[in-house]
Amino acid sequence: MSTTASDPLAALGSLPGVPDAVDSVRKAVDRVYGHRVMRRRSNEVTAEAALRGSRGSAALAGADWNLEEVRRRTDFSGEDEARMVGAALRLSAEAGQLLSIWRQSPLRVLARLHLVAAGGATPDDAVGRPRLAGESVDEPLIEAPVPGAEEVAGRLEGLSRLIIAGGSAPALVMAAVVHGELLALRPFGSHNGLVARTAERIVLIGSGLDPKSICPAEVGHAEQGRAAYVAAFEGYTAGTPEGMAAWITHCGRSVELGVRESTAVCEALQRGAA
């Protein structure tokens, strides 16, 4: 996966199919940003994208609620699914507050995201820190072997260095790697999928690809389905060029589907229907 020490992700951007995915995502994002509604009502589109992205991320975590139920509900305590949806909504609200910290201290942001997601649902001493040796992981969607605590610590540090260093890799590639690595590591005792997808969103926003956060990849991940999500992720964990390309292109398609969702929101706002 490495090319040079200064830019170890550069090679991923040239894997077969990846340049086309990067170009397709860039064009799709540019189109929705050029919609006339974005000139006057971008805040409404951003808010709706956050809601729909939260619903999509929660659906992948096993709480597949109708959008209108998410919109209507005010109490997200009680049953497991309600708490999961509530966690996804809190993470969406928090993501935009952490952009200035992300490039300087990504591990601090990840700890904060877990704290927000857990919301008191896990023991206090396990919240907001990577799991210790012997601690279990509650992440039913991902069945890949769970790395040990020592490996997690080392790989998190490596991921942090990549984020801080930046480099020439396209935003889509960096977002896909951050998402995939956090899923692979499952560094926390719970809510790793929600945290990984929120981190993907932070990269897409902070990179300048989607500065107004109107292209929710979580919508696309959910729309493609849990089976496709897991299959693409298995390509990431395999670490082969073909597997990495499949994961990156899957993430790219997810962004494009998020764009399609927000384009529909723009059209509805233009008609006065939303």
What is the DSSP code string of the chain? --S-SS-TTGGGGGSTTHHHHHHHHHHHHHHHHTSTTHHHHHHHHHHHHHHHHHHHHHHHTT----HHHHHH-----SSHHHHHHHHHHHHHHHHTTSHHHHTT-HHHHHHHHHHHHHTTSS-GGGTTSPPPTT---B-TT--SPPPPHHHHHHHHHHHHHHHHH--SS-HHHHHHHHHHHHHHH--SSB-HHHHHHHHHHHHHHHTTSSTT----HHHHHHHH-HHHHHHHHHHHHH--HHHHHHHHHHHHHHHHHHHHHHHHHHHHHHHT--
* HSE of 151, CA atoms in CB hemisphere, 13 A: 9
Tens-level pLDDT at each residue, the chain (274 residues)? 433 445 778 889 999 999 999 999 999 999 999 999 999 999 999 999 999 999 999 999 999 999 999 999 989 988 999 999 999 999 999 998 999 999 999 999 999 999 999 986 655 678 889 999 999 898 888 988 999 999 999 999 999 999 999 889 999 999 999 999 999 999 999 999 999 999 999 999 999 999 999 999 999 999 999 999 999 999 999 999 999 999 999 999 999 999 999 999 999 999 985 5
Indicate the average pLDDT of the chain.
93
Q: Is 225 left (phi over 0), alpha (psi -120 to 50) or beta?
A: left
88-129 pLDDT per residue, tens: 999 999 998 999 999 999 999 999 999 999 986 655 678 889
Q: Are 195 and 117 in contact (CB under 8 A)?
A: yes
How many angstroms from the chain centroid is the CA of residue 212? 15
* Residues 10, 131: Cα–Cα separation, whole Å: 31
The residue among 148, 123, 153, 151 whose CA lies nearest residue 134 is 148
Q: What is the pLDDT of residue 110?
A: 98
Q: What is the pLDDT of residue 220?
A: 98
Beta-bridge partners for 138? 190
Q: What is the value of pTM for the model shown?
A: 0.94
Percent of the chain whose predicted confidence (pLDDT) is above 70: 95
* Residues 267, 215: Cα–Cα separation, whole Å: 15
Q: What is the pLDDT of residue 120?
A: 64
